[in-house]
Structure 1
Amino acid sequence: GMMSAVFKETMGIDLQLPFPRIAYDDAIDLYGTDKPELRFDMKMQDGSFLVDLGSFQAFKDACTAGGTVKALVVPGVAEAYSRKKIEELESTAKIYKAKGLGWTKVAGTQDAPLLEGGIAKFFAGKEAEVCTTLGAKPGDLLLFVADAKKKIACTALGAVRTRLGKDLNLCDPDQFAFAWIVDFPMFEWNEEENKWDTAHHMFTMPQEKYHATLESDPGSVKGDLYDLVLNGYELASGSIRIHDPDLQKRIFKIVGFDEVEGQKKFGFLTEAFKYGAPPHGGIAPGLDRLVMLMCKETSIKEVIAFPKNTFAQSPMDDCPSEVDPQQIEDLHLIIKKD
């Protein structure tokens, strides 16, 4: 539709339609992010089978606690990645709360593979089974993140995958890999406040098949949300909105608003819905980011007029600058100093 026309008219590029649709859960499971870089494959895999094959305690502890082991096969880079380079990858994983980054290298032959370095000793005698299950070949680097929380394991190893894509130049700069991310969770658990929060906002329409289980199983509810992603960036985000006042009140209660508070803060909205608000929704594209990607830049500062610097200052007009006292008086402002 719109993106196809824009790329055709401005760049002469025929985009492949329709764009792939990826469920949020699959995006997290395979790429570790809801804005996956799709210009290279290298999907993450489930490494939980390693618990039964080896004796690595960190893997067992994570799975026993209800978590998982995520695995990533990096083809043909075993010799190029020294321990120092792997430690740099581990630093990336730890930014996303991983406790560490397990690794080993595939050596030997296709018929008789060996594992060398890292956690190899914990899988002695099981090398062939490990490699066959993961589809690994001699010369490959195997990376693992295990955690009691599946999302941490996924996002941490996903960040490593994204970094590898850049470090190994796996992305074709002339390719534009679009995808729709759909089936986002409606709610997420707030551990600090011990309550459910909306994953996006309180006005998103839950998918109809979940309406009956909103209160009994909020964690499984999917919303009518959709993001358009391009080359690892969120390009546009949108949703179908609630137009039913009773449904809106149910959402308020799930996130902790009682009827009085809900009426006080959003009574104007639920009242308006009573007069027949039609089903409605939309999407908000980031035009600056779109232009940035079309120009093959990595920062929107390169494509917007008068960008701010890292100190949030505008070099063109020297803002922010000292305010004239008369302006403060005209606006009836009072400056309070600590």
Structure 2
Amino acid sequence: RLKYRYLDLRREPMQHNIILRSAVTFATREFLTSKGFLEIETPTFIKSTPEGARDYLVPSRVHPGKFYSLPQSPQLYKQLLMVSGFDKYFQIARCYRDEDARGDRQPEFTQIDMEMSFTNREEVLETTEELMRHIFKKTLNYELPVHFDRISWDDAFDLYGSDKPDLRFDMKMQDAAFMADLSDFNAFKAGAANADKNIERHKRSGLKVLVVKNAADKYSRKHIEALEAVAKINHAKGLAWMKVDAEGKFEGGISKFFAGKEAEICTRLGAEKNDLLLFVSDEKWQTACVALGAVRKQLGKDLNLYNPKDEFHFAWIIDFPYFAWNEEENKWETEHHMFTLPQKKYWDTLESDPGAVKGDLYDLVLNGYELASGSMRINDPALQERIFEIVGYSRERAEKAFGFLVQAFKFGAPPHGGIAPGLDRLIMLMCHEESIHEVIAFPKNNLAASPMDECPSAVDQSQLDDLHLKCTEVEK
């Protein structure tokens, strides 16, 4: 299909997808322009700066030994546009990241890039909701709710095991720490003991349970072992289980440890006859949540739990941790990027308690996919320097990487913030596809190559000479 893409594109499904993409792009421009946004292009050749993924580099013929970078996002430039006095900016922006491909990711992609000055989180979220309502109504004649759900990062993991939960079905994980005191089942002791240093903050344990309604007779031991494999892939030590039989008694799995305790457990968990109970226990709260959350996602597929009236379920994830501890390098890192504004109530304790800091950032999720990420930005050079210091960026290193941005802020920068919905991923979900390859006219394959035009390819030696480059043989 990729080798003869021009023939593949003749097919009706592909015609539909590409035509819808065009309509969504037009609707986006129509809405944002009506709201006073200016469409401004930013450079494709930029300075290489550390943004997380690897940069694609372009050698300069005029400046031997120096390289341009293709932008991972227009992040720094759209902030500079706010410094320049433009009130609202947008761009259908091409972005490039040299990272391994997968179904919803490829080397070059497109995002609806937006930035607003003198704004706040509420205005950015409401504007994005209005944009999505306009797009879906205009292109699919589909009515989205006026406001989307809002879930804190902590609650998203605690209830769904993910910061991009699929909310088309309502199954929530529950805390089962109380069960550790009802038996001598040692595997539950560690999870209930709040051993994770982060537990102190939110008082949640690493013993989680899913109550799968009316599923006891649908899951044999073999099927449960398949679910356990999913949990183990996500770093769980195992998946404990038991069923509630027709008489309200526990059977199978770990039931012998909790015989006679059925009434108390079922009452507290809301379990009933013919329900399946699935448990993950781990010393680390987030590990337990992620593992059981992956099982929840698999159950949604296995049992087709999706609400047919809830075809597109948007939600905001807010109150993210600002910093994450890198155990390998023994230092703090930012969860998002270093220009995100910390929530103001944490400014006095940034250095003394980085792990408690929440960022003024937000993700938009749709049907289990992260659709957009954004934040309010730092506009105070002094606050920006504090963030650089916490993550181990010396003044010299920060100046080398981001000096032009910090310098610009010294001339005065308004409070500003923005967001960037992924256009490819949005179209993929609107078309009910599972890969962005189905909504891009000429995508790369999973090896970041194009079979149609045999890209990437070798070039003539004369071209390398012009660029002052020499290729070396790589052993296979």
Q: 1:142 aligns with which of 277, 287, 297?
A: 277
1:62 aligns with 2:198: no
CA contact 1:180–1:226 (8 Å) conserved in 2? yes
Write out per-residue CA displacement over residues 277-324 of structure 1, whole angstroms, 9 at most, x where no aligned residue. 111111111111111111111111111111222333212212223323
Equivalent residue runs for 1:1-338 within 5 Å? 1-64=130-193, 65-66=195-196, 67-109=205-247, 113-172=248-307, 175-338=311-474
**Structure 1 residue 337: Cα displacement:** 2.1
Q: Which moved more, 1:128-137 or 1:328-337?
A: 328-337
CA distance in 2: counterparts of 1:291 and 1:142, whole angstroms: 37
- Secondary structure at the aligned position of 2:249 is classed as strand
CA contact 2:428–2:439 (8 Å) conserved in 1? yes
Aligned partner of 2:270: which letter?
A: G
CA contact 1:37–1:231 (8 Å) conserved in 2? yes
CA distance in 2: counterparts of 1:203 and 1:103, whole angstroms: 45
Change (3 A) 1:264 1:297: closer
CA distance in 2: counterparts of 1:263 and 1:318, whole angstroms: 40
CA distance in 1: counterparts of 2:246 and 2:207, whole angstroms: 25
CA distance in 1: counterparts of 2:395 and 2:136, whole angstroms: 48
Aligned residue for 2:94? none
Aligned residue for 2:88? none
CA distance in 1: counterparts of 2:428 and 2:355, whole angstroms: 36
- Secondary structure at the aligned position of 2:181 is classed as helix
More relative contact order in 1 or in 2 (CA 8 Å, sep 6+)? 2
CA distance in 1: counterparts of 2:352 and 2:218, whole angstroms: 52
CA contact 1:55–1:123 (8 Å) conserved in 2? no
Q: Which moved more, 1:6-15 or 1:260-269?
A: 260-269
Change (3 A) 1:318 1:267: closer
CA distance in 1: counterparts of 2:138 and 2:399, whole angstroms: 49
- Secondary structure at the aligned position of 2:348 is classed as helix
- TM-score relative to the length of structure 2: 0.68
CA contact 1:203–1:248 (8 Å) conserved in 2? yes
Q: Which moved more, 1:230-239 or 1:65-74?
A: 65-74
CA contact 1:90–1:100 (8 Å) conserved in 2? yes
- Secondary structure at the aligned position of 1:86 is classed as helix
Write out per-residue CA displacement over residues 239-290 of structure 1, whole angstroms, 9 at most, x where no aligned residue. 1110101111111111122444434443433332221111111111111111
Change (3 A) 1:173 1:292: farther
What is the RMSD of the two structures over their aligned residues, measured on CA atoms?
1.5
CA contact 1:238–1:282 (8 Å) conserved in 2? yes
CA distance in 1: counterparts of 2:397 and 2:440, whole angstroms: 42
Aligned partner of 1:72: which letter?
A: L
- Secondary structure at the aligned position of 1:49 is classed as helix
State how many pairs are aligned: 335
CA contact 1:173–1:296 (8 Å) conserved in 2? no
**Structure 1 residue 172: Cα displacement:** 4.1
| Structure 1 unaligned spans of 5+ | none
Change (3 A) 1:123 1:169: same
CA contact 1:182–1:225 (8 Å) conserved in 2? yes
Write out per-residue CA displacement over residues 125-148 of structure 1, whole angstroms, 9 at most, x where no aligned residue. 111111111101111110010100
CA distance in 1: counterparts of 2:428 and 2:450, whole angstroms: 20
CA contact 1:31–1:154 (8 Å) conserved in 2? yes
CA contact 1:235–1:290 (8 Å) conserved in 2? yes
- Secondary structure at the aligned position of 2:375 is classed as strand
- TM-score relative to the length of structure 1: 0.95
CA contact 1:195–1:255 (8 Å) conserved in 2? yes
CA contact 2:177–2:191 (8 Å) conserved in 1? no
CA distance in 2: counterparts of 1:271 and 1:292, whole angstroms: 40
- Secondary structure at the aligned position of 1:151 is classed as helix
Q: Which moved more, 1:306-315 or 1:259-268?
A: 259-268
Change (3 A) 1:69 1:271: same
CA contact 1:74–1:141 (8 Å) conserved in 2? yes
Aligned partner of 1:169: which letter?
A: N
CA contact 2:208–2:279 (8 Å) conserved in 1? yes
Change (3 A) 1:261 1:315: closer
- Secondary structure at the aligned position of 2:279 is classed as strand
Aligned residue for 2:29? none
CA contact 1:202–1:252 (8 Å) conserved in 2? yes
Q: Which runs of 4+ in 1 moved over 6 A?
A: none
